[in-house]
């Protein structure tokens, strides 16, 4: 079984997220999503989420492409996650291009093109207008 992992906040879930998850799942048999915790988002990413970790986790678990949701608690856990879950492919949006190449020592690294016309940042900006 080929295992794939991706990481993210997945706040204000939208079709761009679904496109990423669908394409990530297509690269293997089992998709794990490491979901940023509220503490990680607040303390290290300086992000404030609309939905709580538990709400975002519940949404992700309801998506047919997602097999398992685990907490992302810090930037450094990626190598240990890859080892623990025996990951074959690490997937992330191409806005991170090159930033995770160090993981190529542990698994395949794939940067997927983002859905261009949608983002959580854009949604939040439009809601403020």
Q: Is 45 a catalytic residue?
A: yes
67: nearest Cα among 111, 30, 15: 30
Q: What is the pLDDT of residue 52?
A: 96
Angle at 38 between CA 51 and CA 107, to 5 degrees: 105
Q: What is the pLDDT of residue 124?
A: 58
30: nearest Cα among 6, 11, 53, 12: 6
Q: Is 3 a catalytic residue?
A: no
pTM greater than 0.85:
yes
Exposure string of 34-59, with b = 16+ CB inside 10 Å and e = fewer, is: bbbbbebbeeeeeeebebebeebbeb
pLDDT band at 119 (very low <50, low <70, confident <90, very high): low
What pLDDT digit, counting tens, does each position of 18-27 carry? 999 999 999 9
What pLDDT digit, counting tens, does each position of 52-107 carry? 999 999 999 999 999 999 999 999 999 999 999 999 999 999 999 999 999 999 99
2, 45, 99, 124: which one is catalytic? 45
Kindly state the average pLDDT of the residues 104-129.
78
What is the spatial distance between Cα 102 and Cα 55, in angstroms, rounded to a whole number?
32
pLDDT band at 118 (very low <50, low <70, confident <90, very high): low
């Amino acid at each position: 079984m080929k295992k794939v992992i991706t990481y993210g906040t997945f706040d204000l879930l939208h079709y761009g997220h679904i496109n990423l998850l669908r394409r990530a799942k297509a690269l293997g048999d089992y998709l794990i999503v490491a979901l940023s915790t509220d503490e990680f988002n607040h303390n290290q990413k300086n992000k404030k989420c609309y939905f709580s970790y538990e709400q975002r986790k519940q949404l992700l678990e309801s998506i047919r492409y997602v097999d398992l949701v685990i907490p992302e608690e810090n930037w450094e856990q990626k190598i240990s996650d890859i080892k623990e879950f025996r990951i074959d492919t690490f997937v992330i949006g191409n806005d991170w291009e090159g930033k995770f190449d160090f993981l190529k020592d542990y698994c395949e690294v794939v940067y997927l093109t983002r859905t261009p016309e949608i983002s959580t940042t854009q949604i939040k900006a439009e809601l403020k207008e």
